[in-house]
Amino acid sequence: MDLSRRDFIKTAAAAAALAAATGGNSIETAEAAPDAGGLKWGKAPCRFCGTGCGVLVGVRDGKIVATKGDPKAPVNKGLNCVKGYFLSKVLDGNDRLTKPLIRKGGKMVEASWDEALDLIAAKFKESIDRNGPDSVAIYGSGQWTVFEGYAAAKLFKGGIGTNNIEPNARLCMASAVTGFMTTFASDEPMGCYDDLDLGDTYFLWGANMAECHPVLFSRLIDNRLKNPKVKIIDFGTRHTRTSQMADQYIRFTPQTDLALLNGIAHIIVRDKLYDESFIKNHAVFKKGKTGIGYGLEDKFKFADDPKPITFDEYKDFLKTYTPEYVSSLSGVPVKTIEEVARLYADKERKVNSLWTMGFNQHVRGTWVNNLVYNVHLLTGKICKPGENPMSLTGQPSACGTAREVGTFTHRLPADMVVTNPEHRAKAAEIWGVDVKKIPEKPTYHATEMFRALDRGDIKVLWVQVTNPFQSMPHLNRYRKGARKGDGRFIIVSDIYPTRSTELADVILPSASWVEKEGFFGNAERRGQQWFKMVDPPGEARNDLWQTIELAKRLGYGNLFPYKYVEKEMFEEYRRFTAGGKDLAPYEAYTKERGLRWPVVDGKETLWRYAEGHDPYVKAGEVVKFYKNKKDDGKAVIWARPYEPAAESPDKQYPFWLCTGRVLEQWHTGTMTGRVPELKRAYGAAVCEIHPEDAKKLGVKQGGKVKVSSRRGSIVLTADLRGRGKAEKGNVFVAFFDENKLINELCIDAYCPISGEPDFKKCAVKLEKA
Amino acid sequence: MQRYLLPVAAVALSILLFAPAPAVAGDVEDLEKDAAYAEGTPPMVPHRMEPGATGEACLACHLEGKNGAPVSPHTVRLDCVQCHAQGEIKEKKPAAKKKKMLKEVK
């Protein structure tokens, strides 16, 4: 299409849109306008990703009959993605779990709640008596509501007395957390989604936003339509819908993002493009251990040893990362690296970096998070409206629950950790428990938790709101481990049968989304509340109720003395958040379309650490990373080197395997897989493969290809020209498909600092099948 | 890319769509009114789509209603496939024209 035609379309499109907006002709949407009779509308955040779109839910006769993008929701302003539009159907699949089920003689048999809960409590007691509290565990998720996560943390850490609590967010956001903690000493971003509208230069690092954060991507595209200066640059290892709509796609070799970011910093320092006064006032330099391993061995332990360095020492560290060296590693041309560094440093540009799993699911995930902050700190492009680094999340409350409530083994609410005696004392005081109850040592992060189950160190495991026996890496080992017997007992709470319920000894039917009252926190620190709008089917019950029922049976009912459970529990949790992560009173969230913390004196905060925006920054301080007290309120620029992936292609396994999401399916497909429209749009996982690689193998479009790693093997349909296009030597497979367990092939190597596995890189071979 | 050719209309509409929402603390909500104003479920696409189809490819027909295509009510939203996913393919039309255009886009 030539330029004039393209512009014609845009011009005409804009005119047509304006006409539509002012009442011109337009097509009817598929759904007829519901009549007012008996239809009641409520508000809720979307059930799916971490964007946190607002949705209006229409209920008639106790049934959800419609959902619409909420025009008043600041996140999405009326827009949803295709998953969000089908929210009304995700709860209505014909195989909803409606009764507790107990495994009896190899068969799942219906049981009453009392029978199931009594059995679970007996198993917990037996295991604790015989093997101690660290033999029982709970594995939840970033889809836990704040209440559910808080109740689980309080029961396990403050009641049972074990740190055996982990969320699946360990598989998705843990590196973002350790990145934030090591650089700023406080989790969660300084910026917010307003930066998507206010900036003009966006670097996407391994983030397929068009499919995985579509509504946020639309905000970017919209910004570009308004502002001719806007540039979207997509760094990727695979050409996606995002690459297609970006202004520039920069292909790089997997794992070399570490080198690229150091290369960008090298040029910024070499050419003195940095903001000297910002660095002087707001940054310190540090280095940590190198050659830190990959966590492939059971019981792997790592502790970093941060050492302060000078700016000159940091400059020396960067000397290795010449554009030529970085180009040789990454495959990105020298000229492009130079241009990108200049764009990052351009004083006339408001620069943002955006990332998700490409950075976080990375054996050096913490480092690569640190490195992107380095570039923003060096150039002073941070804590300003329209220019910030922004970590996007994949689950609706990975931030609000997993990270902020702190449902990780090492964490307590509001950035506190079990290893700190003051933090334990504060938690014990608010929870009303003896401080000795909360163990000071973290136990297992997610991968180690499933290794412990395989070894038999954990006997009883309760899984809530997630599907680990599809989503763990090196899945064969952990699936086998779960059914080894010898006292192992698995409880799975879910709304549909999954690859995890099939391994369970007890299956509990759960309530989901608007079948219960809830609270999620999204990626821009926005907390959003909703009320229960419909009853769950059959005997299905809220996970919060399930946890409290176990607590009562274990003798910890006194930890949950609430009448209006959600509200009172929230007010208790809120006490943890004062002093920088402040949440508003519960009442406020029932009225608002969410509020971004810290909320002080009823006012939300758009930009943290920034004077005039963050109430904790004093007049004259301009920017203050006030949570990092040990470095005088400064952020840390880290010397972190490039180190190779845990497993790289070789002669025997010559391809990189990357896994991820597609637009229409979410996570392991438990919900989206029940919606016929979504299933039709993208029903089965395929293997994206480069046409030249396919040709060499004799595989044609739609033909079968056998993909094998050192851990497993799977046959998939080859896709040479799909929406995502593999680079040569790379293949991509989505992980949602319960019939194609691609995670059996993934390596369970992880970032030693965050414990987050690398689902994006392992070596595979391909054969025609 | 000559985006400066964009008319004021586009800017005005975009501001309408994505202006920062005012704080509504304490407002009495009228969710029903909001729902009446919101768009419902978007139609699925009843014809074959090229894997790389972008807004420009879609608007080649859906801007003015060429070949009997319904006219889009929101033509500034360019990531069409974000909401309109592949649906059941009802009719098979020769896709020669569209293919040609896509090549030119590339």
Angle at A374 between CA A372 and CA A378, to 5 degrees: 130
Q: CB of A684 within 8 Å of any CB in chain B?
A: no
| Residue B24 pLDDT > 60 | no
- The answer to whether A222 contacts B101, with C-beta atoms less than 8 Å apart, is no
* % of chain A surpassing 70 pLDDT: 95
- The answer to whether A7 contacts B43, with C-beta atoms less than 8 Å apart, is no
Helix, strand or coil for residue A27? Answer: coil
Q: Confirm whether A357 is a catalytic residue.
A: yes
pLDDT tier at B70 (50, 70, 90 boundaries)?
very high
Return mean pLDDT, chain B.
Answer: 70
pLDDT top residue among B70 and B105 = B70
Main-chain dihedrals φ then ψ at residue A642, nearest 5 degrees:
-75, 130
Structure token digits, residue A672: 């989206």
SS3 annotation, A601-643: CCECCCCCCECCCCCCCCCCCCECCCCCHHHCCCEEEEECCCC
User: Residue for token digits 């009802």?
Assistant: B90
Task: Give the SS3 label for residue A124.
Answer: helix
Span A373-390, pLDDT tens digits: 999 999 999 999 999 999
* C-alpha to C-alpha distance for A73 and A79, rounded to whole angstroms: 9
Cα separations in angstroms, A238 against A134, A362, A724, A726: 42, 16, 7, 5
Nearest Cα to Cα of residue A515 among A94, A73, A98: A98
Confidence of residue B39 (pLDDT cuts 50, 70, 90): confident
Active site residue A172: yes
Determine the average pLDDT of the residues in A191-211. 97
On chain A, the residues whose CB falls within 8 A of the CB of B100 are none
Residue from A394, A521, A527, A673 carrying the catalytic annotation: A394
Residues A508-527, mean pLDDT to the nearest whole number: 98
Q: Do residues A143 and A396 lie in contact, with contact meaning Cβ atoms separated by under 8 Å?
A: yes
Question: CB under 8 Å to A741, separation ≥6 — which residues?
Answer: A470, A475, A499, A712, A714
Taking CA–CA distances from A14, the nearest residue in chain B reads B10
Is the pLDDT at B14 greater than 70, yes or no?
A: no
Q: A631 — contact with chain B (CB < 8 Å)?
A: no
Write out pLDDT tens, residues A403-424.
999 999 999 999 999 999 999 9
Q: Tell me the two tokens of residue B14.
A: 């975009």
Distances (CA, A) of A697 to A248, A640, A651, A735, A763: 31, 39, 15, 24, 17
In the block, which residue shows the tokens 């949440």? A583
pLDDT digits (tens, 9 = 90+) for A84-108: 999 999 999 999 999 999 999 989 9
Whether ipTM > 0.90 holds is no
Write out chain A residues lying below 8 Å of B72, CB-based. 16, 26-27
Would you identify the CATH topology of the domain A178-394+634-639? Dimethylsulfoxide Reductase; domain 2 (3.40.228)
Q: Which residue of B has its CA nearest to A74?
A: B21
Closest CA to A495 of A64, A143, A152: A143
Cβ-Cβ contacts under 8 Å for A732 (sequence gap 6 or more) = A238, A657, A658, A659, A660, A687, A688, A724, A726
The residue annotated as part of the active site, out of A46, A53, A108, A172, is A172
Q: Which of A218, A228, A592 sits opposite B82 (nearest CB)?
A: A218
Mean pLDDT on A431-442? 97
Q: Is the pLDDT of residue B103 over 70?
A: no
Cβ contact B85–A82 (<8 Å): yes
The answer to whether the CB atoms of B31 and A66 lie below 8 A apart is no
What is the CB-side half-sphere exposure of residue A346 using CA atoms within 13 A?
Answer: 18
Angstrom distance (rounded) from CA A376 to CA A484 = 49
Pairing of strands A54-60, A40-45: antiparallel
Half-sphere exposure of A658 (CA within 13 A, CB side): 30
CA distance B45 to A681: 9
A143, A255, A361, A395: which one is catalytic? A395
A679-734 pLDDT, tens per residue?
999 999 999 999 999 999 999 999 999 999 999 999 999 999 999 999 999 999 99
Number of C-alpha atoms within 13 angstroms, CB side, residue A547?
31
Q: Mean pLDDT over residues A286-312, rounded?
A: 98
| Res. B96: pLDDT tops 60 | no
Put simply, the answer to whether B7 touches A25 (Cβ < 8 Å) is: no
Q: Is A528 a residue of the active site? A: no
CB-based contact B34 A72, cutoff 8 Å? yes
Return the percentage of chain A with pLDDT > 90, whole number: 95
Rg (CA), chain A: 25
Chain B positions touching A602 (Cβ under 8 A) are 25
* Tokens found for residue A98: 């409606």
Q: Does A732 touch chain B (CB under 8 A)?
A: no
Which of A69, A77, A244 has the CB atom closest to B18's CB atom? A77
3-state helix, strand, coil split of chain A in percent (to 5) is: 35, 20, 45
Q: Work out the angle between the directed axes of helices A365-379 and A334-345 (0-180°, nearest 10).
A: 60
Binary contact (B32, A41; C-beta < 8 A): yes
Cβ-nearest to A16 among B38, B63, B70: B63
Q: Considering only CA atoms, which of A124, A114, A122, A119 is closest in space to residue A103?
A: A119
B40 vs A12, A68, A593: nearest CB: A68
- Predicted pLDDT of residue A26: 35
Are the Cβ atoms of B85 and A663 closer than 8 angstroms?
Answer: yes
Nearest residue to A522 via CA among A232, A286, A213: A213
CB neighbours of residue A729 within 10 Å = 15
Contact criterion met (CB < 8 Å) for A222 and B12: no
Which residues of A, range 224-283, sit inside 8 Å of B by Cβ?
224-226, 228, 241, 244-245, 247
Catalytic residue among A49, A53, A192, A357: A357
Nearest to A117 by CA among A417, A550, A528: A550
How much is the pLDDT for B56?
Answer: 87
Domain ranges, ordered by start, for chain A? 101-172+396-591, 178-394+634-639, 655-768
Average pLDDT of the segment spanning B83-87: 91
Between CA A317 and CA A313 the distance in angstroms is 6
pLDDT at B21 over 70: no
**CATH class assigned to A101-172+396-591:** alpha beta
B56 and A6 in contact by Cβ < 8 A? yes
- DSSP for A661-676 reads --SS--TTSTTGGG-H
How many whole angstroms from its chain centre is CA B10? 14
Nearest to A68 among B5, B18, B35 (CB): B35
Query: Distance between CA A535 and CA A518 in Å, rounded?
Result: 14
Close Cβ partners of A7 (under 8 Å, ≥ 6 residues apart):
B2, B3, B5, B6
Side-chain half-sphere of A205: how many Cα atoms within 13 Å? Answer: 29
Q: What is the pLDDT of residues A17-64, one digit of tens each?
A: 433 333 333 333 334 344 557 899 999 999 999 999 999 999 999 999
Given a contact cutoff of 8 angstroms between Cβ atoms, the answer to whether A353 and A205 are in contact is yes
At A210 the three-state DSSP class reads helix
3-state SS record for A715-762: EEEEECCCCCEECCCEEEEECCCCCCCHHHCCCCCECCCCCCECCCCE
Token output for A18: 């304006």
Query: Taking CB atoms and an 8 Å limit, are B73 and A245 in contact across chains?
Result: no
User: Nearest Cβ partner of A1 from B12, B27, B56?
Assistant: B56
Give the confidence band of B41 by pLDDT, cuts at 50, 70, 90: confident
What are the pLDDT digits (tens) for A541-551? 999 999 999 99
| Residues forming beta bridges with residue A527, ordered by sequence position | A521, A595
Q: Which helix (H) or strand (E) holds A681?
A: helix A676-681
Which pLDDT value is given to residue B8? 41
Distance CA A714, CA A733 (A): 11
Distance CA B28, CA A637 (A): 47
DSSP per-residue string spanning A478-518: HHHHHT--TT-EEEEEESS--TTGGG-SEEEEB--GGGS-E
Short-list A416, A205, A492, A450, CA closest to A330: A205
Of residues A396, A391, A336, A473, the one with CA closest to residue A209:
A391
CB contact (8 A) between residue B78 and residue A245: yes
Contact B26 A682 (CB under 8 A): no
pLDDT, residue A35, reads: 52
- Is there a contact between B71 and A228 if contact means CB atoms under 8 Å apart? no
Specify the pairing of strand A460-464 against strand A248-251: unpaired
Residue B16's alpha-carbon distances to A26, A223, A553, A665, in angstroms, are 18, 12, 55, 31
> Which positions in chain B touch A10 (Cβ < 8 Å)?
3, 5-6, 10
Cα(A733)–Cα(A682) distance, integer angstroms: 13
User: Which tens digits make up the pLDDT trace of A330-340?
Assistant: 999 999 999 99
A683 touches chain B (CB under 8 A): no
Q: Pick from B4, B20, B63: which is nearest to A12 by CB?
A: B63
Per-residue pLDDT at B19 exceeds 90: no
A chain contacts of residue B26, beta-carbon cutoff 8 Å: 591
Secondary structure (DSSP) of A526-570: EEEEE---SPPSTT-B-HHHHHHHHHHHHT-GGG---SSHHHHHH
- B contacts of A722 (beta carbons < 8 Å): 51
Beta carbons within 8 Å of B19's beta carbon, 6+ residues apart: none
Q: Tell me: cis bond preceding B43? Omega within 30 of 0 counts.
A: no
Given this structure, which CATH class describes domain A655-768? Answer: mainly beta
Beta strand extents in A231-317 (DSSP E only): 231-236, 238-239, 248-251, 283-287, 307-309
Q: For A517-540, what is the mean pLDDT? A: 98
Q: Does A596 contact B at CB distance below 8 Å?
A: no
Q: Residue A27's pLDDT is what?
A: 38
The partner residue sitting opposite B5, judged by closest CB among A7, A18, A681, is: A7
Judge whether A394 counts as a catalytic residue.
Answer: yes
Q: Are A411 and A64 in contact (CB under 8 A)?
A: no
Q: How many helices (H) and strands (E) does chain A have?
A: 26, 29
User: What pLDDT shows up at residue B90?
Assistant: 78
Nearest CA in chain A to B25: A592
